Amino acid sequence: MADDAEPIRFGRASVYRRQRLLTCGSRRHRLRPTVLRVLLYFLQHREQTLSKDRLLDELWNNTANESTLSSYVSQIRPLIKDSSWQIETIAKVGYCFRESEVEAGSNELAAEPPLLSANQYLGVDRIGFFQDFTGTFEELFKTSRRIITLFIHSRRWRENHDPKIRAFLARRGTRLDVYLPDPLDATLKAGFLKNFEDGVHIPDFIDDACQYFLRLWRRHPKRVVVRFHSYYPTYSFYVFDKTVIFAMYPTTAHRAMVPTLQTQSTTQAGQFVFEDLAKLKKESRRPTQREIRQFLKRAPRRHH
């Protein structure tokens, strides 16, 4: 079989294994794991007569019965009915996955199946620019119980949503986790200086962000968690319960038109973020008591 990132095509249908997705004509079906496993087995054994005993042995290690096998075949058949392939019953033997005789050799089958759009393939709900999501953030602050963020400093975002952030933390049962660049990491600061047009200002902006969130932590010590990391970030993310918004990082001082995606934690795009988050949790650190005291005794800066 091909790499699981590549679709498996048969007739007018395609199977995307990583997404457990079947496209057939203009229809899309999200497959349950066992349905996908049975369909893939038939795809691996096209035009072969497969006995029920063999299917039960290789798919379930003989822990299921013929009724279970028949049930899954019945679930698959309507999903692929427009593909030009079918699961044919072989009396007293089993099944054969073969191309329909009416369709075999048809010129129509030579056409490529429709490609998935980026939205369909990744599970993206919305694509836009960061400033287009202001209203979305406002609504998410009202309804969410858990927020997890990663950014360099996100000064404008903090300024725009400060009342909402504070109102969120004032509600019972909420929690805010913030991942910030380690303010003591000289290598990380050098990277910002080299790759960002406004890199000379970024260390101060990071210090401001540390001070801002540590002040929130002092007020809500059980609801705010601040952690420092040493990764050079290529994007920022904002997780509100199961909703994920992430934005690319430009390397110019002008940041108005930043491509931004909204998705859910269970999608391919959402899992991309959560894999990074798992690594951040493991390798980031909490600020020391000395760092906390230093940040909290500073007067807030004013930027123009």
List pLDDT tens digits, range 116-143.
Answer: 555 555 678 888 888 889 999 999 999 9
Closest CA to 34 of 63, 8, 60: 60
pLDDT of residue 28 exceeding 90: no
pLDDT, tens digit, for every residue of 176-208?
999 999 999 999 989 888 888 888 889 999 999
Judge whether 215 and 187 are in contact, CB under 8 Å. Answer: no
Instruction: Tell me yes or no: is domain 122-297 CATH 3.30.870.10.
Output: yes
> Residues 51-75: what's their mean pLDDT?
92
CATH class of segment(s) 8-116: mainly alpha
Three-class HEC string of 181-249:
ECCCCHHHHHHHHHHCCCCCCHHHHHHHHHHHHHHHHHHCCCCEEEEEECCCCCEEEEEECCEEEEEEC
**pLDDT above 50: residue 304:** no
pLDDT for residue 105 is more than 80: no
Q: CATH 3.30.870.10 residue ranges in the chain?
A: 122-297
Is it the case that residue 248 has pLDDT exceeding 80?
yes
Q: What is the pLDDT of residue 6?
A: 82
Q: Which residues of the chain form CATH 1.10.10.10? A: 8-116
pLDDT digits (tens, 9 = 90+) for 213-243: 999 999 999 999 999 999 888 899 999 999 9
Entry pTM = 0.62
Which pLDDT score, from 0 to 100, does residue 30 have? Answer: 86
pLDDT, position 266 = 82
Q: Specify the pLDDT at position 153.
A: 87
